[in-house]
Structure formats: structure tokens, C-alpha cells
Amino acid sequence: MTTPAPITGPRLSTPDVEKIKAFLTKTVMHELEIHPTHAYQYRSVVREKLDQAYDNLKLTLPNEVREGIIREVFDELVGFGPIQPLLEDPEISEVMVTGPKQVYIERNGELLDTGITFQNDDQVYRLINRIVNPLGRRVDIDNPTVDARLPDGSRVNVVVPPVAIDGPCITIRKFLKTRLTMDQFIELGSITPNMVDFLSACIVARLNVLISGNTSSGKTTLLNILTGYIPGHERILTIEDAGELKLNQKYVVRLETKNPNPDGTGMVNQRDLVKNSLRMRPDRIIVGEVRGGEALDMLQAMNTGHDGSLTTLHANTPRDAISRLETMVMMAGLELPVFAIRRQIASSINLIVHMARLQDGSRRITNITEIVGMEGEIVTTQDIFRFEQTGTSKSGQILGDLRATGIRPHFSQRLEISGSKLRNEIFMPGASSR
């Protein structure tokens, strides 16, 4: 981990300045309690009261110090405190708070120390409450973990003591406001034009696709991109824990899970939504990520007329993805024999696209794998494309090529029937797919 200069410039943190900020925060909060304001006026009213409270102090500090103090208190009152500038920086993909004195970010695949700190645990807790309270959730000793979402769609995970030993922790995976395009994906080296031609044909031909990969490997990003190839006349239902998918088609219905109420009632999980989606005349069902028993319902939907469905799951290899899918189906509680589960997987999933985050921080597709069928009690697969690592550069960059294996998929005829006649060179063995 490198430790550069603070990302957003120095924070003002002398004892006198901290007293000024604490006084202004307390004064403005008191004013807002006495004179509540409408939500649409909140930011402007806070700024007005903040300027007035500062002027009343009759301070003679330089303008840049004044503006720094005002900015930090404003961020504390209407934003997300010290990490507000990080959330506004489009180059930062993840923000991680570990106690009040450690704030890290991920930028371009690299973990960096920001130099930003909170005053104490209480300030971190105030930020946590600002995130979870509007969602009707709570974090305390009895409920030390929670998943939430910021208004812009960014995903938030919170862990507090006694589970978090070193103080309250916040992890924010930022929501990209600009959708990554396939051309950008190619430029990043995550995929090749030949692989794009192949995958787009698979989507149009209504193959069922499972995107697997390790944490932060780009699964949702790829899912977002691939949905762009779904024809605009189809009715698409998306099911997610936190709405991240951005589909541009006309007939899209977005469903999102609901956490239980404080009394434990009212929960709506992904399995409930998958079951309900079958009654909503979907042409395709897209599950953002399968994590449990909904995997069985998803497979059954794929097997009963809802071809062309897509989903993602955490796994380290395509083979591992199949094993994890088996485990998730077992979580449905129906006590199905393993052989029956594997037959269901083999008959439902056509293709596994595996994403990996490599040691140098790059994200790329490492396998495009066809599920061929069953051989005895084993689900059989074959790679259509594969990443072959050739070495590592002096700077630590992973070197290699995304190549075709020379194998044509068994469903090639299905692609042709749908109107996609792929060039023979796409599948030429050993040739780089660039």
C-alpha cells in the first residue's frame, strides 16, 4: 500500500479550529431544531445559517481558512463529513473507513491512504446513522452489521463493535454515474473484439449466461454491458439487493429486496422476488447476484421458457461456480439429490463468463466456458476462450493474451438460427482474439 499526500488537500485540524467547527456544528444544529426547514431548502438554509454563525464569531482568519472551516462543517451537516470529497471524486471506486483514524480508497485498482481522519468514534457513528436512519435501519450492539445504499446508488456495508474490534467500519462501493461501454471494456484489455462478437450473439440467441468472479472483479459491470444487447422489444425484470443495473430498454421492471421492519416483519428477499417475477410475464429475468435459495428458482425459470436470463455469483473459477450453484440450490431446503441438482444446472446454464481481478489490479475475462451436459454424475464443460498469462512486467503488470481454444460451442447452430453467423477465425486455436 502506498501513502501519498492527502487526496483532497489538508484537513483543518488544530485544536482552535476544531473548537470553532464544533461550535458552528452545534449552533447550526440547534437553529435547525428550533426552525425546521423543508428538505428541498435544507442545503441552502444550512449554508445561510452557517455563514451567519461564523460571522457572529467576529473572527479575522484568512479567507482560505474560513472557507475550509465552512466547507468541512457543511459536509458534516448535509453530506458525509470528512469523506464527502472522496464520494465526489469520479476516479475513486471504493471508500473504506476503519475506525476514526484510517480512511483508505481504491483508485485504478490500487489501495491508497487518504490522510483523512475523523475526530473520534462518535463522528463515525453520526455518519453511519446519517446513512442508515433514512432507510429505516439501525446499527447497534444487537445489530452490528448492516447493508445500505446511498441516494446515488452506492453500496454501503457497516460493521460496528463488538464485531469490529478496532472501531466502526464503513465500506462504500461507489456507484458509477457513467455506464462503462463495451469499447471502453476493450480498451482496458478486459475483453477482445472477437469475444464481444461471440457474447453479443449469445445474448441475442437467448442463451442463459452466468457471470462468475471474485470480489470486485467487475461482474456487475460486465452484466450491465451485456444487457445492452437484449432487444428493445423484450420485457426484462431485474432483481437486486441494491439497484445497480442501468438498462436502457423500454420495457424494464426493476425489483429490489426489502429488509425486515424493526419488529422483524415485512422482509422481501430475492427468492420471493424471483418467484413473483414469474407471474409478471417476463421475457428475461436478470438477478444481480445469486446468494442463496433463489438459485433454484432462477434455474427453474431458465428451464421453463425464460431463456436468455442472466445472473452473477462469487466464485474463483468456472468449475467453482458450478459447485457454489449446487450449494445455493441446497439452501432452498428441498433436499434434492446432488445428481438432480447437477442435471438442473447442466440443462439450465449455457455459458459461464468468468471475471478475475488479477494481482496487478486489472480486471479481465479469464474464461468463457460452455456447459456441455452431463457425463455420469459430473457436469461437463469446455473453454471457448481463455486468458493465457505469459509473464509479469518489471512494473508488476500481468502480461498475457485472451485466446480462442479452437473449440466451437455445441450451441453454434442456435446462434446461426438467431441470425448470428460468426466468422470462423473467431474460434481459431491459439490465435490472439484481438
| Full DSSP string of 282-315 | -SEEEES---STHHHHHHHHHTTT-TT-EEEEE-
Query: Torsion over CA of 129, 135, 136 and 141, rounded to 10 degrees?
Result: -40
Q: What is the mean pLDDT of the chain?
A: 87
pLDDT at position 259 is 75
pLDDT at position 8 is 45
3-state DSSP helix/strand/coil % of the chain, to nearest 5: 35, 25, 40
pLDDT at position 5 is 39
Q: Cα–Cα distance between 124 and 127 in angstroms, integer?
A: 5
Residue for grid cell 457513467: 178
Q: Which residues contact 327 (CB under 8 A, 6 or more apart)?
A: none
Is it the case that residue 424 has pLDDT exceeding 50?
Answer: yes
Return the C-alpha cell found at 357. 481481478
**Residue among 179, 171, 178, 1 at smallest CA distance from 86:** 171
Query: What percent of the chain lies above the pLDDT cut of 90?
Result: 47
Q: Cα–Cα distance between 171 and 216 in angstroms, integer?
A: 13
pLDDT at position 228 is 93
Q: Which of the listed ranges 26-40, 104-118, 132-146 does the model predict with the highest average pLDDT?
A: 104-118
Query: Torsion over CA of 106, 108, 113 and 114, rounded to 10 degrees?
Result: -90
Using DSSP, state whether 104 is helix, strand or coil: strand
pLDDT at position 355 is 96
Is it the case that residue 200 has pLDDT exceeding 50?
Answer: yes
In the chain, the domains with their CATH numbers are 1-78 (no CATH), 80-177 (3.30.450.370), 182-427 (3.40.50.300)
pLDDT at position 430 is 62
pLDDT tens digits along 296-347: 999 988 887 789 999 999 999 999 999 999 999 999 888 889 999 999 999 9
Amino acid letter, residue 137: R
* Reported confidence tier of residue 295, pLDDT bands at 50, 70, 90: very high
Whether the Cβ atoms of residue 172 and residue 296 lie closer than 8 Å to each other: no
pLDDT at position 212 is 97
For 250, which DSSP code? Answer: S
Return the C-alpha cell found at 377. 454424475
User: Across residues 412-426, what is the average pLDDT?
Assistant: 90
Query: What percent of the chain lies above the pLDDT cut of 70?
Result: 94
Helix axes 270-277, 294-302, angle to 10 degrees: 20
Q: Cα–Cα distance between 99 and 166 in angstroms, integer?
A: 6
Is it the case that residue 122 has pLDDT exceeding 60?
Answer: yes
pLDDT tens digits along 334-382: 888 999 999 999 999 999 999 998 888 888 999 999 999 999 999 999 9
pLDDT tens digits along 226-282: 999 999 999 999 999 877 788 989 999 999 888 777 777 888 989 999 999 989 999
Is it the case that residue 155 has pLDDT exceeding 80?
Answer: yes
* Reported confidence tier of residue 13, pLDDT bands at 50, 70, 90: low
Q: Cα–Cα distance between 190 and 364 in angstroms, integer?
A: 4
* Reported confidence tier of residue 7, pLDDT bands at 50, 70, 90: very low
User: Across residues 174-203, what is the average pLDDT?
Assistant: 88
Q: Is 404 or 10 the better-scoring residue by pLDDT? A: 404
Return the C-alpha cell found at 74. 457543511
pLDDT at position 78 is 79
DSSP assignment of 210-239 equals EEEESTTSSHHHHHHHHGGGS-TTS-EEEE
